[in-house]
Amino acid sequence: MRVRRPIPALAAVLVLVATACGGGDDDTPNAIDQRLEDLASAGVYIGGVAFTNTLVAIHYDGQGKPSPGMRMFVVDGSPGGAAEWFEGKANGNTFKFTSAAGKATVEGTIERTETDGTITFADGSKRVFFTRPAGHGAGIFDITVDGAGMWTGKSLDGSTLDADQAGPIVDGFVRSASGEMYRFKHNDLSRRLMYSRQGGQADSYVAIVTRQGTEIVGRGGNVRGGKPSENLIALDLAASPTPTPGVYYGRVAMTTDKLAFDINTVNGVRTLRAYVSDAEPEPAGDIEWFVAPVSGTTFTLTSASKAARIEGTIAADGVSGMLTLPDQPARRYFAGPAGEGAGIYDVTVAGDRSHAGTSLEGGKLQLTYQNGMVMGKVTDPTGASVDLLGADLTEAYKYGIEGSMPGTYVAFAAPRGRFLIGRNGDVRGGSAGLNIIGLDKKC
């Protein structure tokens, strides 16, 4: 018999979530530097790997010392995917380690507010990675999942995690070592996107928990010994406490593509708009816009470019179906009801590269930009706002192009501004430009 553990009061948790990651009312360039400096003191860095969904987490032992100890985990949460553990002592401000499995290497440079470099995976592919200081509650966790679907975890810095899983939903909270608490209600991507292996099986896992429990990804087995099991954790697309009616945000299976839906009635006509992109540069980058009136709960649409197709079902818990992009196989997607500023936006980037935008439903965003970082607010249509601090992925991943160039864009935002992804040009007409907005909230 399952006995659900009490979850802390949501209102109190939301106060913490809204303030933990931003700079309050001070959005000046100096505030960006100060916010990163404040976060760096925790000695926990979180980031990602270019052109993948792979997460990277680093815990420093002796942060600030000339040659600190480092524990580093790289994992993507997909069946048979990456799960590499690295451990060692830096050589001054540089490091080069071989993974516990002996199949991967990592090298990089340590700075006070970033740790970046390259990872060479077991298949020989070499990718850029970046990490930035993470807020309290983020880091590398040891998590035990029992046969009843109860999750219990503790991070290397003493933060804790408790949750229960029922089908595709994992409901719980992260409590930081200093006492802050972050509630989450995640979708299990392995079940929503029908991976070949279901996540959350009974096992002991090593997992990365991103800021405020926004994403949780891991692998079971003896990860530190270089022998992970096939069991996985793949949690994302957390439920918004108050979704914006008709707005959904989601992911596409086994790709870096993300998508947003706006399904609302205007002048008596119910219209579906869908926007798919991966925030990656052409010629490989994906960018498709779909729009059509819909009367029921199912739909099949061709994109404005005539090169892609989407079909799906609209249900109370989200929109799901199949997406076929040019020269790619059909892939499953899932998008959950989204609020906290989520939506499809028209965005103007000014000469100083500040961002201002308004969503189809009346959400607002206002961001300042400095040295590849942004800081500001995203505000939902009710007027509730969330502070954010984020990285320009085109710079962090060294794509060879500059993102967020001055101009006008159509973009979509994830809840709390976690991602802001867009293109210039005639996106709605199927002729997107080459300039990219690709922002990722890494704090």
Q: What are phi and psi of 417, to 5 degrees?
A: 65, 25
pLDDT value at position 208? 97
Around Cβ 41, how many Cβ atoms within 10 Å? 11
* Beta carbons within 8 Å of 4's beta carbon, 6+ residues apart: 164
Q: What are phi and psi of 18, to 5 degrees?
A: -70, -25
Q: Per-residue pLDDT tens for 357-400?
A: 999 999 999 999 998 989 999 999 999 999 888 899 999 999 99
**Burial 248-287, CB ≥16 within 10 A → b, else e:** bbbbbbbbbbbbbbbbbeeeeeebbbbbbbbbbbeeebbb
pLDDT exceeds cutoff 90 at 301: yes
Peptide bond into 283 cis (omega under 30): yes
CB-based contact 346:260 (threshold 8 Å) = no
Q: State the Cα–Cα distance between residues 51 and 278, nearest whole angstrom.
A: 9
Residue type, 97: F
Residue 35: in which H helix or E strand, if any?
helix 29-40
pLDDT for position 407: 98
Tens of pLDDT along 47-75? 999 999 999 999 998 766 667 899 999 99
Query: Span 188-193, mean pLDDT?
Result: 98
- Other C-beta atoms closer than 10 Å to the C-beta of 431 total 12
3-class secondary structure, 347: strand
What does the alpha-carbon distance between residue 32 and residue 396 come to, in Å, rounded to a whole number? 16
Q: What is the pLDDT of residue 388?
A: 85
pLDDT at residue 312 tops 60: yes
Higher per-residue confidence, 326 vs 267: 326
C-beta of residue 430 within 8 angstroms of C-beta of residue 304: yes
Contact predicate 12/181, CB 8 Å = yes
Residue type at 301 in one-letter notation? L
Q: How much is the average pLDDT of 169-198?
A: 95
In terms of DSSP H, where are the helices of 60-182?
none
CA 314 vs. chain centroid, Å, equals 23
Tokens 């061709």 map to which residue?
A: 302
Return the structure tokens found at 315.
Answer: 């249900």
What band does 443 get if pLDDT is binned at 50, 70 and 90?
very low
**Structure confidence by residue, pLDDT tens digits, 242-267:** 999 999 999 999 999 999 999 998 88
Eight-class DSSP state of 63: T
Sequence-distant (6+) residues with CB within 8 A of 124 are: none
326-355 average pLDDT score: 97
C-alpha to C-alpha distance for 180 and 185, rounded to whole angstroms:
17
Q: What's the whole-model pTM score?
A: 0.91
Structure confidence at residue 164 as a pLDDT band (50, 70, 90): very high
Average pLDDT, the chain: 90
Q: How many CA atoms lie within 13 A of 369 on its CB side?
A: 23
Bridge-based pairing state of the strands 287-293 and 364-370: unpaired
Pick the more confident residue, 210 or 43: 210
Distance CA 407, CA 296 (A): 37
CA distance 3 to 27: 45
For β-strands 431-440 and 385-392, DSSP reports them as antiparallel
pLDDT of residue 38: 65
The model's confidence at residue 178, banded by pLDDT at 50, 70 and 90, is confident
Tens of pLDDT, residues 2-59: 444 444 433 333 323 333 344 444 545 566 566 666 665 668 999 999 999 999 999 9
Q: What is the CA radius of gyration of the chain?
A: 21
Element (H, E) at 13: helix 10-19
Mean pLDDT of 106-120: 93
pLDDT attached to residue 119: 98
Q: What is the pLDDT of residue 68?
A: 83
